[in-house]
């Protein structure tokens, strides 16, 4: 029997209507549009409504991905959701999306790997399809980071936004997913963390007082590790795909900071390569696990990504966690 591969068969995305501009943030904290643009590349971000949650955004992105892949919701076999802002601990966001979509045959679960959650979920789905155990999977990245953002802290609140992206993975006789590399380093847990609400710091008046339910980040240190780690992951994922960096058509890096994206791309191959970076951080900020599938889906929808294109995706986030993947657009 010939080897079975996994390939992306459809993409989808969703962002909430409400736009929060840098000018809006100037009225909330001591900051400026100029600082935010030059230090991060962000111009605006989307904010979910009070009654709009990660599962709602993930279901909307999932619905679009299924329609584009020609897969009916009732035929979906697995739903994997990368998120660090699940609606709740349980039921998982995957269960809520399963119900919203009417995917009555599907099982599913959430992947906790912060901003790398989507790539970890995609790798898990690819492995399940390559093994022949399942015939399709819906892989979602969905985040409501506005719910865990400390809106009084200018060093973090200017960075984050809400949204979702999704892909449908199917078996293929040609390799769509060409390589994967995943890693974690729990020794660097203190660079980027959200400690409140877990068993170590359960919700309490004290944990709320100490602002433990918000994202905390050592920005400058995280920046340096992000550039080095993403560069290495990009190189290794490309090598494992049997490709040289010049063979890559598009690079989709986690949208955390335009300066990180530029630094990694320039290191990989100078301005020629940097032009291949797909960027939407200017419009959405950092949407964590949603950022890669959101950027991919937009690039597919506007016709940039074409059949045969090789796409290098690289993630980095709290944990620390990281991942690199090369997929070929079948």
SS3 206: helix
**Closest C-alpha among 67, 179, 63 to residue 130:** 179
CB atoms within 10 A of CB 240: 15
CB of 81 to ligand ACO, least distance (A): 16
Region near ligand ACO per CB under 6 A, out of 74-82, 124-132, 176-184, 255-263: 255-263
Binding of ligand ACO at residue 155 (CB under 6 A)? yes
Q: Which is nearer to ligand ACO, 53 or 160 (CB)?
A: 160
Select from 66, 251, 256, 277 the one that contacts ligand ACO (CB under 6 A).
256
Q: What is d(CA 14, CA 64) in angstroms, rounded to the nearest whole number? A: 9
Active centre residues (catalytic): 115, 254, 286
Region near ligand ACO per CB under 6 A, out of 35-43, 53-61, 71-79, 300-308: 35-43
Question: In the block, which residue shows the tokens 């006789």?
Answer: 173
Region near ligand ACO per CB under 6 A, out of 126-134, 256-264, 277-285, 291-299: 256-264
**Closest C-alpha among 95, 99, 42 to residue 74:** 99
Q: What is d(CA 306, CA 54) in angstroms, rounded to the nearest whole number? A: 29
Q: Which is nearer to ligand ACO, 3 or 220 (CB)?
A: 220
Spell out the alpha helix ranges (H) of 141-218.
154-157, 205-209
Residues in the chain: 330
Q: What is d(CA 194, CA 268) in angstroms, rounded to the nearest whole number? A: 32
Binding of ligand ACO at residue 226 (CB under 6 A)? yes
Binding of ligand ACO at residue 295 (CB under 6 A)? no
CB of 243 to ligand ACO, least distance (A): 26
Instruction: Name the residues that contact ligand ACO, by CB under 6 A.
Output: 31, 35-36, 39-40, 114-115, 154-155, 158, 192, 215, 219-220, 222-223, 226, 256-257, 260, 286, 288, 316-318
């Amino acid at each position: 029997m010939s080897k079975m591969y996994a390939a992306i068969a459809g993409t989808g995305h969703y962002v909430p209507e409400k736009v929060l501009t840098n000018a809006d943030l100037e009225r909330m904290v001591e900051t400026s549009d100029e600082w935010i643009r030059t230090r991060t590349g962000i111009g605006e971000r989307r904010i979910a409504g009070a009654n709009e949650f990660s599962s709602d955004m993930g279901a909307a992105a999932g619905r679009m991905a299924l329609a584009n892949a020609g897969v009916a919701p009732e035929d979906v076999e697995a739903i994997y959701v990368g998120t660090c802002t699940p609606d709740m601990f349980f039921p998982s966001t995957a269960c809520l999306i399963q119900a919203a979509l009417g995917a009555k045959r599907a099982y599913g679960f959430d992947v906790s790997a912060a901003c790398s959650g989507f790539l970890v979920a995609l790798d898990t789905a690819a492995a399940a399809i390559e093994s022949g155990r399942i015939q399709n999977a819906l892989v979602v990245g969905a985040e409501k980071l506005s719910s865990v953002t400390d809106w009084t802290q200018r060093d973090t609140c200017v960075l984050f936004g809400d949204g979702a992206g999704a892909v449908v993975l199917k078996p293929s006789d040609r390799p769509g997913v060409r390589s994967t590399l995943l890693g974690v380093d729990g020794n660097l847990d203190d660079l980027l963390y959200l400690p409140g609400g877990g068993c170590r710091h359960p919700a309490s008046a004290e944990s709320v007082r100490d602002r433990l339910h918000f994202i905390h980040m050592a920005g400058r240190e995280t920046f340096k590790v992000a550039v080095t780690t993403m560069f290495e992951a990009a190189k290794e994922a490309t090598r494992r795909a049997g490709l040289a960096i010049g063979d890559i058509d598009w690079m989709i890096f986690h949208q955390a900071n335009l300066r990180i994206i530029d630094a990694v791309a320039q290191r990989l191959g100078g301005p020629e390569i940097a032009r291949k970076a797909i960027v939407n951080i200017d419009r959405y900020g950092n949407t964590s696990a949603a950022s890669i599938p959101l950027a991919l889906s937009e690039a597919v929808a506007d016709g940039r990504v074409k059949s045969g294109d090789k796409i290098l995706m690289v993630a980095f986030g709290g944990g620390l966690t990281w991942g690199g993947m090369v997929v070929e657009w079948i």
